[in-house]
Each structure stands twice: as C-alpha cells, then as structure tokens.
Amino acid sequence: MNLKNDWKRILEKEFQESYFLNLMTFVNQEYKTKKCYPPKDLIFEAFNQCSFEEVKVVIIGQDPYHGFGQAHGLCFSVNDGVKMPPSLVNIFKELEKDLKIPIAISGNLERWAKQGVLLLNSILTVEEGNAGGHQNQGWEQFTDAVIDLIAQQKSSVVFLLWGNYAHQKGKKIDRKRHLVLEAGHPSPLSANRGLWFGNQHFSKTNIYLKENHLTTIDW
C-alpha cells in the first residue's frame, strides 16, 4: 500500500476485505494496460502527507484530475508548475476573499496536508481523459470506511464538504462531535450560480479549531 505512518495499522483490516482485494486487482490491471493517474506510488499520498493522528480537517473531493501531470494524490491539488484547474482557482479566490490571503502561485496543497488537512478524493485513481472511469469498483466503500474511522475515533474534526457528491459522503458524520461545513462545489458552474463564494469555510474552520484548543491552519 506504500503507507508510511499510522494509517497502515488503522486501515489494516480494511485492506484484507474481499472488496478491497478485488479493487487492487482492478487497479493493477488498469495501470498495466492504460494511462492512469496519479502515479501508482502516489495513490495513497493523501494518507502519507497527513497521518491519522494529525488529522484536524478533512476536505473531500470526487476523483483525481485526469490530465497529464496534474494529479499527485491530494484532492484539488496539482504539482508545482502545473496550471491550476478552475476549481482550484476558485478555492484560492474564496481564500483571498475570506482571509485576505493573496492567491497562491502554486496549486500544490502539500502545505495544507502537512498541517493536518486530509485531502481525500472519494475515488483514488482515474484513467487519463476519462473522468469517473474508476467509479463503482470499490474506492467509494474504502473512503467511506476512512471517513467513518475518523468520525468515530477522533473528535472536533472539521469536515469541508463541497458539492452534492461530498455532501452525500458526509451524511453519517456526527454533527455534535465534529464541525461539518457544506457549500457548493468550487467549479465554475457551481461558483457562478452563487453556491461557492462567500462560504467563509477557511475562517470558520480556524475559529472552530481555536475554540477546541487545536492549532489553526495557515492556509
């Protein structure tokens, strides 16, 4: 699994489930016969960049970017030097509006992950040029299990759910135990309909973390 921290122990039982073994067979075959993203050694990079113990915030995406050189295992994030996709541009625009933080030069969000932000796609792999091509193969069940583990074993975590897909993924989260913030998806279609801008999720996250005696995120 190429996991380098406490997630390896926490997810050990999940890795032994029959659905997950079938999923890995599918993924291995896809990577052997097609161009897929992210690079195989970065499929679980969101977990390596943010250990279970360190998780304070969870952002849920759908599936990885399906263009060359974009996906590197963290939802919404792209590698340094890669042109920012429209959704990521809108995330930075809201961040600027909310906390007066200038729009970043790089779309690489590893700096967030290293502060305890789990950047989790619901589906961790994709075929080049085929958005959603790896749906319904088992990734959704796996990431549901990850969300459940966080929700049940930790407290005072902020879940940022952007768009209807993420809203569905977060339905079972205990709203008394955690802070769940919902908004439209940052994609231009949703943002231009007034469902994204002005949500103030970044400042609301830090207010909640501070109230619960946790270190805030330097967005």
* 131, pLDDT greater than 90: yes
SS3 label, residue 26: helix
Alpha-helical segments (H) within 128-212? 139-153, 164-169, 188-191, 201-211
63 a catalytic residue = yes
Q: Could you count the other beta carbons within 10 Å of the beta carbon of residue 168?
A: 13
Q: Could you count the other beta carbons within 10 Å of the beta carbon of residue 95?
A: 18
pLDDT tens digits, one per residue of 2-17: 899 999 999 999 999 9
Q: Are strands 57-61 and 158-162 parallel, antiparallel or unpaired?
A: parallel
Q: Quick one: tokens of 67?
A: 């263009």
The model carries a pTM of 0.96
pLDDT tens digits, one per residue of 153-189: 999 999 999 999 999 999 999 999 999 999 999 999 8
Q: Say how far apart CA 165 and CA 107 lie, in whole Å.
A: 22
The pLDDT, as a whole number, for residue 90 is: 97
Helix (H) or strand (E) holding 48: helix 45-49
Catalytic residue among 6, 41, 63, 144: 63
The pLDDT, as a whole number, for residue 206 is: 98
Q: Are strands 36-37 and 179-183 parallel, antiparallel or unpaired?
A: unpaired
Q: Are strands 179-183 and 57-61 parallel, antiparallel or unpaired?
A: unpaired
* 1, pLDDT greater than 80: no
Q: What is the mean pLDDT of the segment spanning 185-195? A: 91
In this prediction, what percent of the chain has a pLDDT beyond 90? 96
Q: What is the mean pLDDT of the segment spanning 88-99? A: 98
Q: Is 163 exposed, middle or buried (0-12, 13-18, 19+ CB in 10 A)?
A: buried
Distance from chain centroid for Cα 92: 16
Mean pLDDT of the chain: 97
pLDDT tens digits, one per residue of 101-116: 999 999 999 999 999 9
The pLDDT, as a whole number, for residue 2 is: 84
Helix (H) or strand (E) holding 182: strand 179-183
Strand partners, 36: 127
